[in-house]
């Protein structure tokens, strides 16, 4: 699994311009069951995406390169990989 930590590089008014296309990008990944959760940080200086471990790190990097936020230099991405050894039973099969 991965935790992707986005940090905005532009002001919120610029973020808003690309927000809909960013959300469409997220929807595509949810459809493929790769992204498990996402949302803005509080305070709103970036966001977080939780990604299934069904992809390799290089595959994840290629996916993130398609994000309009990445393509337009709006956010920086930090990726943390971890192996969940315990989880709630409701998450069985999706991690």
State the average pLDDT over residues 9-22: 97
**Percent of the chain having pLDDT more than 70?**
100
Q: Which CATH number fits domain 2-83: 3.40.1110.10, 3.50.50.60, 3.30.70.1060, 3.40.605.10?
A: 3.30.70.1060
CA 8 to chain centre: 13
Write down the pLDDT at residue 93: 77
pTM for this structure?
Answer: 0.93
Residues 52, 95 contacting (CB under 8 angstroms): yes
Rounded to 5 degrees, what angle do the CA atoms 67, 75, 94 make?
A: 50
């Amino acid at each position: 699994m991965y935790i992707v930590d986005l940090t905005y590089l532009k002001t919120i008014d610029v973020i808003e311009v690309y927000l809909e296309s960013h959300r469409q990008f997220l929807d595509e990944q949810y459809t493929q069951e790769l992204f498990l959760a996402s949302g803005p940080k509080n305070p709103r200086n970036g966001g977080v995406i939780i990604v299934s471990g069904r992809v390799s790190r290089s595959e994840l990097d290629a996916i993130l390169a398609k994000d309009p936020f990445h393509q337009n230099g709006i956010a920086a991405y930090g990726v943390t990989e971890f192996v969940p050894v315990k989880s709630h039973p409701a998450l069985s099969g999706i991690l």
